[in-house]
A and B are shown apart, each in its own frame.
Chain A
Amino acid sequence: MSTLEEPEVEPDGLDIDAVHERLGDRVLDTEEHINAPGIIIRADEVEETLTILRDEFDFDYLACVSAEELPDRYETIYHLKQFADPTRELSIVVPTDRDRPISQSAAHVYETANWHEREAYDLIGIEYDGHPNLKRILLPDSWTGHPLTDDYNQDKPQVVSYKAHENPLLEHTKEDDGETMLINIGPHHPATHGVLHLKATLDGESVVDVEPDIGYLHRCEEQMCEQGTYRHQIMPYPDRWDYASAGIINEWAYARAAEDLADIEVPEYAQILRTMGAELCRMAAHFLALGTFVLDVYGEFNALSMYAIRDREKVQKLLEDLTGQRIMFNYLRLGGVAWDIPEPREQFFDDTRQFINEDLPESMDEVHDLLTDNEIFQLRCVDIGVLPPKQAKQYAATGPVARASGIDMDLRRDDPYGYYPELDWEVVTDDGCDIFSRVMVRVREVEESAKIVDQCIDLLEEWPEDEREIQANVPRTLKPDPDTRVYRAVEGAKGELGIYIRADGTDTPGRFKIRSPAYCNLSTLPVMAEGDFVADLIASLGSIDIILGEVDR
C-alpha cells in the first residue's frame, strides 16, 4: 500500500506446505486472502486444527474472529498470527451450513475466542459447539434475531417485556449464602470510563469473580461502515471508535485495509503526514489514559489528571491546526491525506517543536515526580493487577497492556506501515506485568511518539516544495473485485486495531469487521483482578485503558 517496501505475505519461512502436510485431510480447500493464505476446514475440526497450529506452528495469537453470512453459507474466519512475527498470518476459514450454523468453538484453544465467538453468535447467529458461555455480548439478552444477517428485519421493534427486566438484582438478593456479595460496578459508576458494567462478586473486600458486561454503547459501527462507500463515506466513522483522540490511527486502520484491497499507493510525503498525525494522536490518547487512570487511584481532586488533560489540550490544538477538528479529524483519505501542513508552515513547525522539545520534557518530569517516585502510588500499583505473559497471549492482549507484560510486539515495527521503518524510535516494553508497568509503558511511549513526531517535522520541513504530494490519484468510485478479503491492522493507541473487509463487487463492503484492541484487552480484566481488592479492580480497569466506544463499536 505504500511506496515503501511492503513485506510480502510470507516473508521468512511460514512454510505453508508444511502446514498443509501436517493438517492433511483436515484441509478441505484453500483460498487466498490479500493478507494471508486461507485454509478451509470442517466445522467440527476447529479445536483440533487450531491446537495443532498453536502448538506446532507457533500461531499463538488469534488476532480476530470474523464471522459473516454469505448467500449459501455462514463462515467463521480465525485470523491467526504469531506474536513473535505478526506478518506470519494464516486464515482458518470455517464454513457452516445455512440451515444449521453450528461450528466447533475455539474458546478452549484461545481464550480470546470466547468473546469473539460470543460476538459472532450475537450479530450473525452462528452457534459455537462447546463454547463455555455462549450468550449475547453486545445486544441485550432479550434481543431476538441476529442483526447482521440478510433476513433480519431492521424495522421490527425489539419489544423488551418489563418482566424480563423486572429487577436484575432480584435473583441475586434472593440467594443468601452469606459468603459472597454481588456488586454491580456500573453501568453508571465513577470509575468505569464510560458505560461499562462489571458484575463483581466480592468476598468481603476482595474480588472473587468479575464479569464485564458490555454493549451499552453499541452503535452498529460495523453495519454503518457496510453501508458507506469505500471512497469517502467510511472514513468519518473510524474517528468515532476510539474517540479519545486516537482518530487518525483509527482512520489509518481503515485506510490500510482499503488501500490494500484496492491496491492504492500512498505518496511518501502523505505517509509522513500520516505518521506524524498518528503519533500526535497516540500522545493525546495516552495523556487521556494517564489522566483518567490517576483519577481512579488518586481520587477526583488530584492535580495530575488536570495536567495530563492540559498536555492533551496542547496536542489537540496542534491536531486542530492540522486537520480542522479536535477529535473527529476525518483527516485521512484513501491514497493520502486531506490537508498539507497549514500555512504558514513555519508556524506549525515552531508550535510543534515548542511542544515536543520544551513543554513535553517539563511535564514528563512532573509526571515522574508525581507518579513514578510516589511511594504511595507504588504501594497501590506495583505487583497488583498482574497479567502474566502467557495469559496475555491467550487473551490476545495487545498494545501497552501486552508490552507491559513483556510481549515485545508493536505492529509499527513488526508489520511495518507508514513511515515508521525509516524513523529512529524504540518499542517500549516492561516485564513487570502489573499496573505500574502498564502506566509506565504509556508514559514512555509518549516520549517515543515525541521522538517520531520530531523526526517527521524535520522531514516535512526539508521536503522539496514541488514533491509535496499529499494524495495519490484514486478513482472516484472504488469497486474491488468480489470475494477479495483482507485483514489489516495498525498499532492503535490501545493495541492492534484491525479491519477485516470482504468486498462483494459493489462500492460498499460486503462485510466490515473491526478488531477492537480495547475489546480484547478488557477481556483480560478477570485475570488481573480476581483475588485482589475492589480498589485494585478499579485500578486494573483504569490501567487497561478502555474506550467503550471502541469496545462496543
Chain B
Amino acid sequence: MIGVLKSMAVTMKHALKGETFTVEYPDVPPEVSPRFRGIHKFSQERCIWCRQCENVCPNDTIHIVTDDKRQGEQYNLHVGQCVYCRLCEEVCPVDAIILTQNFEFTGETKDDLVYNKEQLKSVPWYNELDPLAAREPDRGSWVGEGEDAVDYQ
C-alpha cells in the first residue's frame, strides 16, 4: 500500500503545482529552433539552374524545366511529398533554395501542395526568423522578400 500511496502523492503534487507543458497553439506560436526545417523558399535571382537539387532529392520532389539554352523556366516543388531532408539546400552552391522555419501551409487537395516558382518565392519567414542567419551565409538577395510574419488567425 505504501507504494500505491507514494504514487498517488506524486500525481497529487503535480496537480497542486499545476504546471503545464503544452504549447497553446495556435494562440501562442511555438518556438522553433533556428535550424528547424519547414517549407522551402526559392530565389530566382540566385538560382543558376544547375539542377543539383533536383538530382539529390531522394523522392523526386523537385522538378525543374529548362529551355534549350539551359535557362530556367519552371521550378516546381511538390511540398506534399517532401521529406524535409534539407539535401537540396545542402547541395545548392548559391543558396538559391532554403528551408524556412515556416511549417504552416495547407492545401485542400494534394495538387494545392505543388508549389511553383512564384509561390516558392513568396513563402513568408516564420516569426521573421531568417534561417540563413542561423546557417551563416550572406543573405544578399533574400532581403525584401516575404518580410511579413505568419498570420495565425
Contact = CB atoms under 8 A, between A and B. Distances in A.
Contact of B86 (A330, A342, A375): A330
A324 B37 contact: yes
Given A232-B56, A233-B56, A310-B21, A324 B10 contact: no
Contact of A325 (B2, B84, B90): B84
A235 B37 CA distance: 16
Contacts of B142: none
A382 interface: no
Chain A interface SS verdict (over half): loop
Given A373-B2, A375-B4, A376-B4, A237 B58 contact: yes
B87 A232 contact: yes
Given A233-B56, A328-B84, A320 B36 contact: yes
A236 B57 CA distance: 10
B3 interface: yes
A370 interface: yes
Contacts of A322: 35
B36 A235 contact: no
A175 interface: no
Contacts, number: 80
A338 interface: yes
Contacts of B1: 375
- Pick from A237, A343, A369, A377 the residue with the most CB of B within 10 Å: A369
A233 B52 CA distance: 13
Given A233-B58, A366-B10, A369-B7, A321 B83 contact: no
Nearest to A236: B85
B14 A303 contact: yes
B6 A369 contact: yes
Interface in B74-95: 83-87, 90-91
Contacts of B10: 303, 366, 369-370
Contacts of B91: 232
A377 B6 CA distance: 13
A209 B7 CA distance: 35
A313 interface: yes
Contacts of A317: 33
B29 interface: no
B134 interface: yes
A342 B35 contact: yes
A126 to B, nearest CB: 29
B4 A236 contact: no
A313 B84 CA distance: 20
B20 to A, nearest CB: 9
Interface in A452-510: none
A323 interface: yes
Nearest to B58: A233
A161 interface: no
Interface residues of B, number: 28
B50 interface: no
A373 B84 contact: no
B4 A342 contact: no
Contacts of A343: 134
Contact of A375 (B3, B35, B84, B85): B3
Contacts of B85: 235-236, 328, 330
Contacts of A233: 56-58, 87
A325 B2 CA distance: 42
A373 B36 contact: no
A303 B1 CA distance: 19
A228 interface: yes
B32 interface: yes
A338 B84 CA distance: 14
Interface string B12-30: 0010000001000000000
A376 B8 CA distance: 12
A533 interface: no
Contact of A320 (B32, B57, B58, B134): B32
Interface string B40-71: 00000000000000001110000000000000
Contacts of A320: 32-33, 35-36
Nearest to A307: B14
B98 to A, nearest CB: 12
A425 interface: no
Contact of A342 (B56, B87, B134): B134
A321 B35 contact: yes
Contacts of A338: 86, 90
B83 A236 contact: yes
Interface in B95-116: none
A173 interface: no
A273 to B, nearest CB: 14
Interface string A229-255: 000111111000000000000000000
B4 A374 contact: yes
A313 B4 contact: no
A343 B83 CA distance: 25
A342 to B, nearest CB: 6
A339 interface: yes
Nearest to B136: A343
Contact of B35 (A228, A323, A366, A378): A323
B11 interface: yes
Contact of A313 (B2, B21, B134): B21
24 contacts: A228-B58, A232-B58, A236-B83, A236-B87, A310-B21, A320-B32, A324-B86, A325-B36, A325-B37, A328-B83, A328-B85, A330-B84, A338-B86, A338-B90, A339-B35, A342-B134, A369-B3, A369-B6, A370-B7, A370-B10, A375-B3, A375-B4, A376-B4, A377-B3
Interface of B: 1-4, 6-7, 9-11, 14, 21, 32-37, 56-58, 83-87, 90-91, 134
Given A234-B58, A324-B37, A373-B3, 10 more contacts: A228-B58, A236-B58, A236-B85, A303-B10, A317-B33, A320-B33, A366-B10, A373-B6, A374-B7, A376-B3
Interface of A: 228, 232-237, 303, 307, 310, 313, 317, 320-325, 328, 330, 338-339, 342-343, 366, 369-370, 373-378
Q: Please give me the 4 A-B residue pairs with the lowest Cβ-Cβ distance, nearest first.
A: A324-B35, A373-B3, A236-B85, A233-B58
